[in-house]
Chains A and B, each alone.
Chain A
Amino acid sequence: MTAPLLDVRDLCVAFRSRRGATPVVRNLSFSVGAGETVAIVGESGSGKSVTALSLMRLIEREGGAVTGGEMLFRPHDGPAVDLARLDEPAMRAIRGNAMSMIFQEPMTSLNPVLTIGEQVAEVLLAHRGIGAREAERAALAVLDEVQLTDPERRMRQYPHELSGGMRQRVMIAIALACRPRLLIADEPTTALDVTIQAGILDLIRALQQQTGTSVIFITHDMGVVAEMADRVVVMRQGEHVETARTADLFAAPQATYTRALLAAVPRLGAGAPIYAVPRAGRAEDAGDTGEVLRVEGLVTRFPIRKGPFRRHVANVHAVEDVSLTLRRGETLGLVGESGSGKSTIGRSILRLVEPTTGRILICGRDVTGLSQQAVRPLRRHAQMVFQDPYASLNPRLPVHELVTEPLAIHDRLPAPARREIAAELMRRVGLPADSLDRYPHQFSGGQRQRLAIARALSSRPRVIVADEPVSALDVSVQDQVIALMRELQDEFGIAYLFISHDLAVVERMSHRVAVLDRGRIVETGPTDAVLSDPRHPYTRDLLAAVPVADPALRHGPRRLALRERRSPINPVGFTPPAQHFAEAGPGHLVAV
């Protein structure tokens, strides 16, 4: 092998604070050959993003510094330079030119007041020494390369006029405009829907083949790694764990940590849980059908108001004619991409948003006609767990008050009694009971989600609506939280409405699934039946787009039908045509 394009040796990075330097990357060594794709994987806090920023020497902006080691890079044919020792002007000549970077958040990494054309032309002007006219022509060519539709028009548009996927394409165009030798992609698809992600991954791969660029792919997603990388560097808490060829890593991981990480990755096709009527039945439930939630013809629309008189000009059709049922101890997975209305369904059921029409029965009680005041006592039967464990817990409440809040509300229990129950709940969700006086910020993300579950559990609800409860967590933590939720289900016979965009997670949790597209259920049925035998084209697209954590099953370039996303905004009084379902198997319904 010829000398590598990038050779990192014993890299150390530290953040300085008043309490001294905190090392975040320790003695990391790896290399990237020409045209090679190397993935750096790890969970949060592993130092993978810090490594990427250090290579670009952007880490100084974040308050960190390279404290040791070298990063030998060949910006052009000839001798390598040590990136760790370059001064700022020399670094500037490399950034965006010989080495460039794509960031995670396509919504904020473009400047909102400059047109797309200006932003792409900017790098060309900075590094190519060409005129404005020429740069514009070159920018147009690059936008065409990243397969943006109608590039002439995009040139004149501003970032807010583009969707997330289109913006990420623009970011890639900017990164590749000067034909860099090395592209660093820091979680470039994490914020995107799976079908959009599939398109972006295909694009990066195609461009890499065309231009011979090397790629460092930073990700937490083993599926993406299996799809993209030639070699993998596994990191944990700032330390190098293992480097291996992708196929070898997945086939025979050497390090214990890598094995645990791979074992925790939810894999699509691993099989769904089988529903059994739970033993934990209650006396008053005996003899009934066990149905704890029934939703009939739920429609939720949000009015759009304009003008000085706030005239009602149109409706956003968030949920259209959704019906579902949930039995005791059962999990129904709601799957869909962003904007599919899955969260709105959950929130409508709990009357956190007002449904437009439809009937919702919780434990047989119709809650649709009730006033907010009358709904309140019923809330004890249906609790919710939210996605963001950082924002969904009041930072000012100590844990013992936080997890027993439903009891304070519904049973008006005095503080000492609540404290006792809180200790019991903490034990049940696997948190130390002596942490009752701590505050939410003193817990990690996974622990916080356990707190949220404990809170939901405290009023002994029949139904818990879990809105992306594990999406913000690392895979290993994700795995534990899912296991906990299933345990609690067996023990208490709780029914979950499990909302997620992640098909593999939904499969692990759900007895049945419902696939949502633009506010409607397009396919529903037993999890195994729907996932192994998808009938609706949308379900098929969704399944095809999921990256598989197995390099042997790597997708070829996918031909996903590029569906034009129809706007969910309709004029007032518009009623969409009714939906009809065909039966594809026992309980397996497909929209026709």
Chain B
Amino acid sequence: MSIAQNMLNAMVKNKIEFVTTVPCKQLSGIIELLEKDERILHVPSNKEDEGMGLCAGAYMGGKRPCIIMQNTAIGVTINTLVTLIQYYRMPLPILISYRGEVGEKVQCQVEMAVHTKALLEQLKIPTYHFHEPKDVKEFGGILNHTFMAKKPVAILTDANFWSSIS
């Protein structure tokens, strides 16, 4: 089974029913699966702060949301994370493609990669880094933990993680 399918299965198993995405090449597999899967409502957003607004609404409407985005979007979403998700104590799993790490072909991606973990730490967002394919096993537990904690939680997924077949 592909990593993307494994990730999607963990979402379904942990009752994620509303997912918004802004695409990244590294995430194309999971986005394609999401679009086809009738168990999860997929609402693509145009910008990641907009997506977090959609997720906040979905959560208050009784659905477990998730946002899927690239690490470059951390810059876009800092205000929303702090003044909406954290301020109102809402849970939000943030599945992030961690671009700019070893294996990256686009030089500019490295510029945001060097700030990614520092920004998440500054925001006191619990952060998990998936590097090996076996790390996929942690995803379900992290999703559950996010809704227990009622916090935004970041799951960084790098090229090595996505390129592997489990």
Q: Do A and B come from one complex?
A: no
Residues of A within 8 A of B (CB): none
